Amino acid sequence: MKKSIVLLLTLLLLAACARLPEHLPGAHLAHSPQIQQTLARADHHYGITAGPWPAQQWWKAAQLPALDHLIQVALRQNPSLQLASTRILAAKAMTAEQQAALLPQFSAGASITQEHFSKNGLHLQANGKSFTYTEINPLELHYHLDLWGRDSDQIRAALGQVRVHQADYAEAKLQLEKQLAWHYFLLAGETEQLHLAERLENLQKSLLQLEKQRWQDGLNNARPVYAQTETYGTARQSVAQLRAAIAQQRYVLAALAGHGPDWGRNIGVEPLPDFSTINIPRQLPLRLISHRPDMVAARWEIEVAAQQVGAARAAF
């Protein structure tokens, strides 16, 4: 019997010391400097240097206060950003819970139980009497030993998940800013086109009245009146299409800002700036690619997967 127990313990010890195959990935796959070095060498080869562009609030280069106010309001009340922010808070709470499990925990407790026995029971001398039991647990200390590093890897994976959600939030914020600026520029451009189309409509209307007067005075036949009527109708149709397009852009901007359609009617429209005055570099460094939020999120997802591999290795 003793030999069997010794043999069993020996097999368990060998199983605990077993190693995983060496070809499995390790725990540090992301944030290697090779990618940054490769991009830096490419920039140096083409003579491109990194400058202060782009700025954090890049839309301010257009110098449109109405656009700046619109974006600020949208960033405060956009439901998509609020949802992304909630995911960050949930991931942080999960990380804090996992970290707290590794800390020493103290507990104490006490309980009082009162029991009454029936007079007609089968407990003999206890029949008809009441008894009170008291149990006191003065102090207990619990401490979790992370011998193989499984919990540490899981915590690092949870921290990486927080950074993934933060990168997703930055991506959602960037996309929202881009869509707001794009549709605002469309709104401003179509508003200027509307002013020109209305002037053209008034001009065509005046020409139609002139042709009708010439026809009534006998200076011309009815053919120019019919032609001018068609031209005037085309101008009116262009004005109607531009007004519908402007209303659509206002609805889109209101939806992006997290408001109803009526809110878009109060969006102020300013003339488009002279984009030749905005300083846009002719050459952009390849290192800007690593600043994209979706690229950062992808790298952190690799880091999370690597930490999960480490946790699985420790569990094995």
Residues 89-148 have pLDDT tens digits of 998 988 888 888 888 888 888 889 988 888 877 767 778 788 888 988 888 888 878 888
- For 75, what's the count of Cα atoms within 13 Å in the CB-facing half-sphere? 16
Q: What tokens appear for 142 in the block? A: 């619990």
Q: Residue 263's pLDDT band (boundaries 50, 70, 90)?
A: confident
Residue range 213-223, pLDDT digits in tens: 988 888 888 89
- For 97, what's the count of Cα atoms within 13 Å in the CB-facing half-sphere? 7
Reply yes or no on whether the pLDDT at 274 is more than 70.
Answer: yes
- For 57, what's the count of Cα atoms within 13 Å in the CB-facing half-sphere? 12
The residue whose two tokens read 């690229």 is 295
Q: Looking at residue 103, what is its pLDDT? A: 84
What's the whole-number mean pLDDT along residues 168-181? 88
Residue range 279-307, pLDDT digits in tens: 776 777 776 777 788 888 888 888 888 88
Domain boundaries, the chain: 29-104+146-315, 105-142
> Could you tell me which of 293, 309, 306, 304 has the C-alpha nearest to residue 160?
304
Q: Residue 275's pLDDT band (boundaries 50, 70, 90)?
A: low
pTM of the model: 0.67
- Pairing outcome for strands 105-116 and 130-142: antiparallel
Using alpha carbons only, give the angle 302, 307, 312 rounded to the nearest 5 degrees: 125
Provide CB contacts within 8 A for 304, sequence distance 6+. Answer: 157, 160, 161, 164
Provide CB contacts within 8 A for 94, sequence distance 6+. Answer: 158, 161
In eight-state DSSP terms, residue 282 is S
**What is the DSSP annotation of 139-194?**
EEEE----SSSHHHHHHHHHHHHHHHHHHHHHHHHHHHHHHHHHHHHHHHHHHHHH
Say which CATH architecture domain 29-104+146-315 belongs to.
Up-down Bundle (1.20)
- What is the Cα–Cα distance from 224 to 14, expressed in whole angstroms? 103
Strands, E, within the chain: which ranges? 105-116, 130-142
